[in-house]
Amino acid sequence: MSAGHLIKATHLAKNFISSVLKAGDVAVDATMGNGNDTIFMAELVGDTGKVYAFDIQQKALDETKIKLSNQSLLHRTELIHAGHEDMDQYVKTEAAAIMFNLGYLPKGDHHIVTRAQTTIRAIEKGLSLLKTNGLLTITIYHGHPEGLDEKEAVLSYVKNLDQKLFNVLYMEFINQANNPPLLVAAEKK
């Protein structure tokens, strides 16, 4: 597919994040996986910023560490082998941007997936870590068995966030087959 502006949810999420995340900021990659979002945000925060990245799979940390080292970005990151639902134990300052990319590790074990209950706890903690005008994005994959429950839980949670505190946007490619990922973006007022 040729490059356009409306390509996919992950691309749109990065566009939103790049408009808020600046040098010196703190960011959180709640689902490190293969490290693409960690690298993307490490480039934006510069040498004075920090990206905290979480995953429950050691494989994700190992692969992300290699990629960051190859790009001389490792010092801008903290790679944490823990569930994102515990992010408040590790991140002690306000964050300008937080990214969730739900589902399973591409090219990994498809049975290890994010799950509704822990995802909601993590989103709740992420929203309380966000600074004013900070942005939290959630890319939701609902084409796998656990994904449908997770999608419903996430959408019902974010729909009910107080509009005095957050602007919440939901985006969906409505003419695509095969359950394309959905995007939620929440901005703290």
**Min. distance of Cβ 27 from ligand SAM in angstroms?**
13
Which residues bind to ligand SAM, rule: CB under 6 A?
31, 33-37, 54-57, 60, 83-85, 101, 103-105, 112, 114, 118
Both structure tokens of 18: 């790049």
Complex with ligand SAM: residue 57 or 173, whichever CB lies closer: 57
CB-based contacts of 1, cutoff 8 Å, min separation 6: 7
Q: Which residue in the shown chain puts its C-beta closest to ligand SAM? A: 33
Helix (H, G, I), strand (E, B) or coil at 71: coil
Complex with ligand SAM: residue 48 or 116, whichever CB lies closer: 116
**Min. distance of Cβ 110 from ligand SAM in angstroms?**
10
d(C-alpha 180, C-alpha 83), whole Å: 25
**Min. distance of Cβ 77 from ligand SAM in angstroms?**
13
Alpha-helix runs per DSSP H in the chain:
9-20, 36-45, 58-70, 116-129, 145-159
**Min. distance of Cβ 63 from ligand SAM in angstroms?**
9
Residue 89, judged by CB atoms within 10 A of its CB (0-12, 13-18, 19+), counts as exposed
**Min. distance of Cβ 160 from ligand SAM in angstroms?**
22
Residue 153, judged by CB atoms within 10 A of its CB (0-12, 13-18, 19+), counts as middle
d(C-alpha 136, C-alpha 44), whole Å: 15
Complex with ligand SAM: residue 124 or 165, whichever CB lies closer: 124
Complex with ligand SAM: residue 18 or 57, whichever CB lies closer: 57
Complex with ligand SAM: residue 82 or 165, whichever CB lies closer: 82
